[in-house]
Structure 1
Amino acid sequence: MKHTSLLLFFLLSVCSFASIAQVNLKDLREKPDANIADSDTTKGLKINPINVPIPKLNLEVNYWKHWTKFGINANQASFSDNWSAGGVNSVSLGGNIWHKSDYTRDNFNFVSEIDLRYGKIKNKDQLAKKNNDRIFWDNKLAYKLAKSWALYFSFTFESQFDAGYRYTKRTEGEEVIEVIDTITSNFMAPGYFTESFGLEYKPDNTFSLRLGTGTARQTLILDNRLKPLEGEKERFGVEGGKNFKNDLAFQITANLDRNLSKNLNLKSRYNLFADYKDIGDPDHRLDATLTAKVTNLVNVSLGGIVLYDSGYIVEGEDKAKVQFSQALSLGIIYNLPK
C-alpha cells in the first residue's frame, strides 16, 4: 500500500512538471505580428541615388567600301655577243593602278572604278616602244527596282597617257636603224566621254550587265597631227576637218570579276556600242585578265584585248579589221585592304 501511494505521487509530479514546461515554451514563442527589429535602428538611415555615367559610343555606319591595287611588272634578257642561239637584249617595265569605291545605302548604289596602265619595252638597237597604255574611269549611279534589276546612269572616260607611233627602218651607211614613221595616237587623240542610261541586271557581286538604251558618246581629237584634214577619210570616226563627234547609240556593257579558285581570278569587261544611225555595224571591245596569285605580293597575269571599231581604218587599208593584243607578265602587286 505504501508503495502504491509513492507511485501515484511520482506520476502526478511528472504530469505537473510537463504542463508547466509546456506553458513556459509557449510564452517564449514570438507572435506573428511581433516587430523583431528595433524601431530606433532605422532612424537617420538615408539612401542616396548614384548616377552611373554612360559613355557615348558615337557609332556610325560606314556605307563606303574601297579597294586599291598597285602593280609593277619587269622583264629583262641579255645575251653575249657570241651567243650561238641568237637573241636580242631587252628590258621592259610596266605599272598599273586600280581603284574601286562602292557606296550602298538602301536601294541606292554608286560605284567608281579607275584603271591606269602604262609600260614600255626597249630592245637593243631599237627605239623604246609602248607595250601598255590605258586610262579608264567609270562611274555608275543605280537605284534598285527589284532583287537583281536597277535603273542606272553612268559616265565613262577613256584615253591614253602617251603618243603611239608606227616605226620603219632606214639605212644609214652600213647600218640599218629604226626611226619613227608617223604618229598613230596620243592623249585625248582619241579621247572618249560616254554617258549612258538604262537597266542593269546584277544577280551577285561578281557579274553585272548594263543595257544602255539611251547612250551618248563624244569622240575628241585634240592633237592636230592626228586631226583628219578636209576631204580626208574619217579617223576614229571623226569626219575630215573636224576634231569632235557626238553619237547617240544603244550600249551593252558586261562586267565579270570572279575568283575561279582561291588563288585564281578572272576579270573581264565587254562593251558593245551601236550607233542608232548605223545600228547594224556596232563597235566591240573585250578586255580580259587572268591573274594567278603566287604569294601575297607576287602574281602572274595573262591579259588580252580584242577590239573592232569600224571608224578605225589603218592607212593603206580599205576597211577596219579586228585588232587584238596579248601580254603575259610576272610582277609584284600590293592590295589595300590587305
Structure 2
Amino acid sequence: MTVRPSYILPVKHTRSDSLYHTKPQIRYAYKQLKNTHIGNPAARYALENLKKERLKYYELNRAINTLRDYAENEHIKYMLDYVRSYFKTVQAKEEAIKRIQERISKDSIDFYKQHPDLDSLRLLDSARYDIFLNPNLEALVAFMEQDENYQWMKERSRDSVLVSVLGVSNRSKNIWLNTGRTEYHRLMTENFRGDTISGWIKTLPDGKQMKFFLDGDVYQTKKFAILQEPREEPLLVASDSIYFVLAEMKIGTLERRHWTYYSDVTLSFGQGFISDNWASGGESSLSILSDLKYFINYKKKTTTWENSFRYRLGALKSGSEELSKNEDKLEIQSKVGVKAFRHWNYATQFDLNTVLFNSYNASDRETVIANFLSPCNFTLSLGLDFKPKDNISLYLSPIAGQWVYVRDTNKVDVTRYGIEAGKRYKSDAGAKIELKNKHSLFYFLDIDNHLMLFSSYYEQPEKLTVDWRLTLKFKINYFMQTSIYANAVYNQNDSKKIQFKETLNLGVHFRF
C-alpha cells in the first residue's frame, strides 16, 4: 500500500500543557492526496485536468466520467490483487478437501475394525461408514462444499483450453479442456481412400488430459482382404490398419415414456403342527395370505394420472375346522392431477373397496355378512395434492362425496352398515384428508403408511371416519421377507368401537 505524505503542524503550547506535561504534544494532520493508487503521474495529472474541462458534447462527457470513475476507484486494485492471490490457492484448497475426505473414510474404517464387538457389524459390509465419521471434519468439508463464494471462485479459476482435432480431410472437432467435468465427444475420421471409422474422445475433469476410445463394432472391409477361401469377417485386432470400417448402423427412435406399469406380488404362509399326544394340548394350524398390487401411472408435462389396484385374500385352517376366509379386500384408486404451483397439484380422486367372496359371521358360520359389492364403499373428491417427493402425498379435499352401496339385500343386512331398512345405499358429503408415505430405514426395513380421514358435513362433527393402515416389511433376501400388516378402522356406521386387525407373515415377494 502506498504511504501518503503528511504535514507536521506547528506545536501549540497551552497553559495546561506546561502544567501537566513535561514535553509538548506533537499532533499530525494528514492531507488526503487523490489517486495515489495510480502509479503513473501523467495519468493522475490528466484526471485532475479532465475534471476542470467542460466539453460541449454530452456523450463525450459521459464517456469520460465512466472511465474516470473506474480509474479513481482505488478499491478495484486491492480487490483484484486479492482475487488473483485467491485463484492461486484454489488448487491447494481442493487438495486439502480431498485429503480430509480420505482421512474421514480411513478413520471410520479403522474405528470399526478396532471395535469388532459392535452390534452393527453388518454395516461394514454395506459401506455404512457415515455413523463413525468425525463430526468436526465433516462439518468443515460440508461448509466448503456448500459455500457459494468458494464454489463461484473455484469455477472462475478454471483456465479452459480449446483444442481442435483435425482429421485427414481437415474436418475439425472442437473440444474444451479443464471444464471441471467429464465429457464425451463423438469423432469421425477417414483415410485417403474414403473409409470411415468412428470413436470417442473423453475429457477428464482435472483438465489437460484426453482419452481416445475406438468403437467396438469394427470389421475389415472385404474388398481389401486377400483372395482366399470365404470366411467370417474378423474383428478388429490391428490398431495400425487403415482398411477397417464400421458395421452397419442401426438408427433407433428415442421417445419419452408417459405410461409406467409395475406390480407387486406377495405370498405368505404360516404353519403349526401339534401331535395328538401333546401334553399341553392345542391344535395344528395353517394360514395362507396373498397380497396382489398393480399400478398404472401416466405423466405428461403438468398432468398426472395414478391408478392402483390391490387385492388381499387369506385363508385359515385350525384343527379339525374347515378352511375359512380371514382376509378378503379389493381396493381400487384413481387420481388425476394438474400442476398448480410448486409441489401442489389440483386433483380429483376416486376410491372403491369391497369384497369378492362371501363372508360369514364368526359365531354361527352360516349368516352372510358381506359378499361382492355388498357392501361397496366408494368416494369421489376434489382438492389439492401436496407431493414434495414421489414417496410422499398429502391430499386435502374440502369437497368429498361418500356412498355405501349393498347389492345383495336378501343375504346381507343393510342396517349393519348404517343404511336404512328397505334401501340399498347411503350417501354423505364432507371433507377428506389422505396421507401416503413410504420410507426405507437402514437397508432391510420398508415402511408403508396410509391414513384416511373423512368428516361429514351433515352428521355430528364428532362422527369421524378413520382408516389407518401400516405395513412393515423386513427383507431377508431378494425374494423372501417378513411383513407386519396393521389396520385400524373407526366407523360408527359399522361399530361404536375401534376395529383393529394385525397379521404377521413370512413369505416370498416378486416385483414385475
Instruction: Place the TM-score, normalised by the shorter chain, in its bin.
Output: 0.7 to 0.9
Distance across 1 between alignment mates of 2:259 and 2:490:
36
Aligned to 2:391: 206
| Partner secondary structure for residue 180 of structure 1 | coil
Shift in Å at residue 147 of structure 1?
1.9
Identity over the aligned pairs, expressed in percent?
A: 24
Deviation string, structure 1 residues 178-214 (Cα, Å, up to 9, x no partner) = x525222222111012111001111111111111111
The question of whether the paired residues in 2 share the 8 Å contact of 1:227 and 1:242 is answered with no
Matches within 5 A, 1:83-122: 83-122=278-317
Rounded Cα–Cα distance in structure 2 between residues aligned with 1:327 and 1:138: 23
Cα 1:202/1:80, change in 2 over 3 Å? same
Match of residue 162 from structure 1: 357
The two structures, once aligned, show a CA RMSD in angstroms of 2.3
Structure 2 distance, partners of 1:83, 1:302, is 30
Counterpart AA for 2:487: I
Structure 2 counterpart of 1:264: 445
- 2-structure distance, mates of 1:288, 1:192: 20
Q: Partner residue of 2:481?
A: 299
Instruction: State the AA in 2 paired with 1:261.
Output: F
Structure 1 residue 237, shift from structure 2 partner = 2.2
Unaligned stretches of 5+ in structure 2? 1-193, 196-247
CA distance in 2, matches of 1:101, 1:261: 28
User: Matches of 1:295 and 1:55 in 2, distance apart?
Assistant: 40
- Quote how far apart the aligned CAs of 1:268 are: 1.6
Alpha-carbon separation, structure 2, partners of 1:323 and 1:301: 20
CA contact (8 A) 1:101 1:112 kept: yes
Show structure 1 runs of 5+ residues with no match. 1-48, 169-178, 229-233, 314-319
| 1:273 aligned counterpart, secondary structure | strand
Alignment length, in residue pairs?
269
- Residue 142 (structure 2) aligns with: none
Q: Which has the larger radius of gyration?
A: 1
Q: CA deviation at 1:242?
A: 0.5
- Which of 330, 335, 338 aligns to 2:506? It is 330
Deviation at 1:56, TM superposition (A): 4.5
* Aligned residue among 468, 478, 489 for 1:286: 468
Structure with the higher helix share, 1 or 2: 2
Name which of structure 1's ranges 212-221 and 115-124 shifts more when overlaid on structure 2.
Answer: 212-221
- What is the Cα deviation at residue 256 of structure 1? 1.2
Counterpart position of 1:255 = 436
Match for 1:220 among 400, 405, 412? 405
8 A Cα contact 1:227 1:241, kept in partner? no
Q: Is the 8 A contact 2:374 2:405 kept in 1?
A: yes
Cα offset, 1:109, TM superposition: 1.1
Give how far 1:55 is off: 6.0
SS in 2 for 1:61: coil
Is residue 448 of structure 2 the alignment partner of residue 235 of structure 1?
Answer: no
C-alpha displacement of 1:54: 8.2
Amino acid at match of 1:157: L
Q: 1:55 to 1:182 in 2, by over 3 A?
A: closer
Give the equivalent residue in structure 2 for 1:231: none
Structure number having the greater strand percentage: 1
4+ residue runs over 3 A deviation: 53-56
> In the TM superposition, what is the alpha-carbon distance from 1:132 to its structure 2 partner?
1.5
| TM-score with structure 1 setting the length | 0.74
> Which structure carries more relative contact order (alpha carbon 8 Å, separation 6+)?
1
